[in-house]
Chain A
Amino acid sequence: DAGVIQSPRHEVTEMGQEVTLRCKPISGHDYLFWYRQTMMRGLELLIYFNNNVPIDDSGMPEDRFSAKMPNASFSTLKIQPSEPRDSAVYFCASSLGLAGYAYNEQFFGPGTRLTVL
């Protein structure tokens, strides 16, 4: 398996532009997570999906951020308009949902480093 795939690996954009980050989870995984990593706040969850449905979006910082999962193999995180404080590394992770107490590991993608000038 190719693992979680994210694109692009690096993105440099100017303030005010729209940015779209993409993620392909591991085939068969039904949970998808978006995390953001910054120096100030560390790694924090933005949103996660189960079977393409958003379950918890309490970490989405503001209305400029939106995430979609149109099908089981693709998700996007969009920032519109982007601001310099959005500069961070954005990680996507996926896992196989298991009920009850069974352990299911979250597998991380390589991350997208976003720089907003």
Chain B
Amino acid sequence: AQTVTQSQPEMSVQEAETVTLSCTYDTSESDYYLFWYKQPPSRQMILVIRQEAYKQQNATENRFSVNFQKAAKSFSLKISDSQLGDAAMYFCAYRRLYNTDKLIFGTGTRLQVFP
């Protein structure tokens, strides 16, 4: 069975600085998706970024980028130029590549952003 682990329950960063959130996962499959979701106090789950395991290039979305290390089964999220609005819970998630399937989530990291 696939598992996702986030070992940092809480992180903090100063506004305009950079922060990296860690995620590791375990799977026996070679092709899959990895995601980072943001959950602000409103509870809404917002997709931040996704990575296809068959792509070697790390995904980027504006200030958000990932460091995907397939052999190490590591998938970290880097937030550059942090903003107050980035404060939220961040969840790492895994999904099988082929066909539609469920998301498997990590336990989340609470990010605080200080002015």
Contact = CB atoms under 8 A, between A and B. Distances in A.
Bind each other: yes
Interface of A: 31, 33, 35, 42-45, 48, 50, 56, 89, 91, 93, 95, 97-101, 103-106, 108, 110-111, 113
B100 A101 contact: no
Q: Is the interface of B mostly helix, strand, loop or mixed?
A: loop
B102 A101 contact: no
Which of B52, B103, B107 has the most A CB atoms < 10 Å from its CB? B103
A110 B40 CA distance: 11
Given A42-B108, A43-B91, A100-B98, A106 B103 contact: yes
Interface in B5-44: 31, 33, 42-44
Contacts of A48: 102
A30 B92 CA distance: 25
A106 B97 CA distance: 13
Contacts of B43: 89, 110-111, 113
A101 B98 contact: yes
A94 to B, nearest CB: 10
Contacts, number: 47
Contact of B100 (A44, A50, A89, A113): A50
Given A101-B97, A103-B33, A103-B50, A45 B44 contact: no
A44 B106 CA distance: 9
A77 to B, nearest CB: 15
Given A89-B43, A108-B45, A110-B43, A99 B99 contact: yes
A85 to B, nearest CB: 18
Nearest to A42: B107
Nearest to A48: B102
6 contacts: A45-B103, A48-B102, A91-B45, A97-B100, A101-B98, A110-B44
A93 B45 CA distance: 10
A42 to B, nearest CB: 4
B47 interface: yes
A92 to B, nearest CB: 11
